[in-house]
Structure 1
């Protein structure tokens, strides 16, 4: 097999696992390229290569572009968004539950995530070559395994059942868990159950939690608090509420702020001068004005020069945000396009720099708090669940009084705040999926007052096979051992 010849500043950035796409010829030699084995004899190359794994999360199919971006897919497939009549019809098929194996709207994540995994595994393939030692070595290994874990988690929750979704979900077909850098392999198969995949994800995250030393101040790289927060998220999906609480409390102990009400708007307007507020952010994908091609907010709307939206907030969701809720002004802008008024989603529009160029918040402390509150309720501690819920509400409502909910009303309030807090952060689809709930849209239209054109399809039953997205046909063509999901 030929060795890959790579430019060191982009090491491992152009390698694909063949289970997701065809091989690329990397035998390109120039004055700035060198053999990968040679490049990985320098300690600094490990950081450069690992940064390539982080960069993969900003690619098409993950958090870039306007077709299939995970910044919007978890919302346009649910009751959070309505397609506008004046948009370009991007992602229309997905919003209409027309999922297919040759449509990048729901298949793009698959190859994008395996690319991130391949880059992480590239780093791990050299971790024992003697160049690194001590905490430098274990920290790099911890970061790489952490990134590998969260990419696998994103794949398995999209393309397989979630453990809490049904009685047999844990034993349902999982995904291929790639633990070795092998871009030419075409023998991988979905040989694990869902439960086994989650166990591997958790094992990687636990290694990361024990060994990572990355500075918590750099939100663009994984830290111990971020890893604990991710463990809380994964265990919530697994239905392990004790560990949801355990690791969530550890994350909140290291990073207790859930974003103060004074800072809340500022964390979404990241290109506002040089403030770079990250209060309450555990892990984000850095995206600066210099990267003006990464217009991540374009999946929602463009400025032409007035806002033209592809999707706008559902009217019932919009009115669920009260006037004293800081999130309403942070997330939305009401404006006119083509003589029609809409409630535009401008959570990612930025302010003061290139439009739609902002970092992507992959994990925030507020989500971890909501994970823990839900887990406390489900383990028989509603009082602590309400205490945590009130902690969040105190930082979101300008006039706040402690809640008086009891019983089921506490859980309902937690889930309501989860929807309000994490709207347009790729959460809604997966929350409905893990709770085995149907999609039930409001029937309201796309205009600012709920009139106008409603979504074509209004419901998706909880038991539908469409909750498991189709494996891309290109992946199956490259590797026939990859089994397609049912009904595709």
Structure 2
């Protein structure tokens, strides 16, 4: 399987760099004559980022189906027809689940792209600074993907080089601790070698702050709270970044490059090729009329739970940015059950594959809440931990971020109650951003929280997802996570 992945990736990388309609046999790209020039190196990194943009399989929906849908945030809407998706929500899934398989293989395809770049770029004659920056970008993406994989599956095959022979295919699972060591090593290299800022031509690429911010989250997951605190604080103190005044404006198409975004998946949109942010799955189904006739082609597949919708407190402005229950597309207002609204792009109302919004992976508010959580774990509630949390809260209620507000600010909580408050805040702040599963898993509250909400089918072994059976059939070196059978 991995040989097929490699061949598919190689074709993707090479055909993206030449006009394949041009008859030029001399330009036929093979491994021996590609990866020779600076342009080849640039193309290799574009292929790495392009893998992240595979939103149906990775960001946003692939991980959504494992990190948002099974939680108290989301449920299956009327547009879901795939029994494997219902199984994920109902905790009846097993190793034979096409959605798990699609995510797993898509991630490894993109990791393979990163590995090819990391192996090949060192031999290309490029200035050292740029060479190291390109390698750092590939390592950042590899670290990001392995971070998601190790949280979802535990021990996973740690593939760090280009697959070139059958002997490289049957890779056994690597202990999670070793995978995390590699994640940290990749991010430390990225932190040292990525650009500090993105010039116009590099907008959307990972920067030093992207690596630092991701390290903060990795260390928080590893319960290395002093390092999590320090890395989060480094981003918080970076003058490039800050909270956008209005939560609503973080996600508007015209403001998709804003000071709150530390790293996001890029979507172009408005190209006529339906290569933008795909919105059909989370918009209402045949409900919103269009001025020229017909209705918005939503599918109501990915929808929030009503409990999540109702959990927002009075005055929390995030509610009306995260969800919507009515809309007028120009042919009259209609109402419907709560649907996700955060990534809705009105300019693509008639062509839902042309959304221009990016998908955020790291935001400034995440660093504030990471910092608050790390401080609380180190020494309990403190002035600093409350202030970091309260800045996020003030913005949520439309108050000046830097000014104390007695009606909004939290204070006087115990260590346990402060952690609960941070988790609540993360839920309201990051709904539909695929963080809920990871937050509950990291804090040991996944099972108890879901069971308290009536999701009683979850069992202890569901803390990890099963490796796809197809992978075990092909790679006899793999073993399955406990609790799962065919």
Q: TM-score, normalising length from structure 2?
A: 0.82
- Provide the residue aligned with 1:53 in structure 2: 48
Q: 1:368 to 1:296 in 2, by over 3 A?
A: farther
Conserved 8 A contact 2:321-2:341: yes
Cα distance, 1:321 vs structure 2: 1.9
Q: 1:120 to 1:478 in 2, by over 3 A?
A: same
Q: 1:374 to 1:144 in 2, by over 3 A?
A: same
- Provide the residue aligned with 1:164 in structure 2: none
- Provide the residue aligned with 2:330 in structure 1: none
Separation (CA, whole Å) in 2 of partners of 1:7 and 1:96: 38
- 183, 202, 205: which one pairs with 2:187? 205
1:338-487, aligned counterparts within 5 Å? Answer: 341-353=336-348, 354-355=351-352, 357=355, 358-383=357-382, 384-399=384-399, 400=405, 401-407=408-414, 408-437=416-445, 438=447, 440-441=449-450, 458-461=455-458, 464-487=460-483
Separation (CA, whole Å) in 1 of partners of 2:41 and 2:284: 38
Q: 1:484 to 1:12 in 2, by over 3 A?
A: farther
- CA deviations 1:247-296 (Å, max 9, x no partner) are 1111222256443233x3233232x4xx4442301111111212524543
Q: 1:35 to 1:87 in 2, by over 3 A?
A: closer
Conserved 8 A contact 1:266-1:277: no
- 285, 293, 308: which one pairs with 2:265? 285
Separation (CA, whole Å) in 2 of partners of 1:200 and 1:414: 29
1:242-281, aligned counterparts within 5 Å? Answer: 242-254=226-238, 257-262=241-246, 264-270=247-253, 272=254, 275-281=255-261
Kindly indicate whether residue 13 of structure 2 is the aligned counterpart of residue 10 of structure 1.
yes
- CA deviations 1:217-259 (Å, max 9, x no partner) are 6552110011000000111111110110111111222256443
Instruction: Give the aligned CA root-mean-square deviation in angstroms.
Output: 3.1
Cα distance, 1:365 vs structure 2: 1.4
What is the DSSP-based 3-state SS (H/G/I as helix, E as strand, rest coil) of the residue aligned with 2:68?
helix
Q: TM-score, normalising length from structure 1?
A: 0.82
Cα distance, 1:129 vs structure 2: 1.2
Q: 1:6 to 1:345 in 2, by over 3 A?
A: closer
Separation (CA, whole Å) in 2 of partners of 1:340 and 1:83: 19
- Provide the residue aligned with 2:138 in structure 1: 144
1:25-174, aligned counterparts within 5 Å? Answer: 33-59=28-54, 60-63=56-59, 69-84=62-77, 86-90=78-82, 91-160=85-154, 174=155
Kindly indicate whether residue 333 of structure 2 is the aligned counterpart of residue 333 of structure 1.
no
Separation (CA, whole Å) in 1 of partners of 2:341 and 2:8: 42
After TM superposition, the runs of 4+ consecutive aligned structure 1 residues lying more than 6 A away are 1-9
Q: 1:6 to 1:241 in 2, by over 3 A?
A: closer
Q: 1:390 to 1:234 in 2, by over 3 A?
A: same
Name the structure where helix makes up a greater proportion of residues: 2
Separation (CA, whole Å) in 2 of partners of 1:42 and 1:146: 22
1:156-235, aligned counterparts within 5 Å? Answer: 156-160=150-154, 174-184=155-165, 185-190=168-173, 192-213=174-195, 215-216=197-198, 218=202, 220-235=204-219
**Which segments of 5 or more consecutive residues in structure 1 lack a partner in the other structure?**
15-28, 161-173, 445-456
Conserved 8 A contact 2:267-2:276: yes
Cα distance, 1:412 vs structure 2: 1.9
Cα distance, 1:423 vs structure 2: 1.2
What is the DSSP-based 3-state SS (H/G/I as helix, E as strand, rest coil) of the residue aligned with 1:143?
helix
Separation (CA, whole Å) in 1 of partners of 2:80 and 2:367: 35
Conserved 8 A contact 2:45-2:138: yes
Cα distance, 1:146 vs structure 2: 1.2
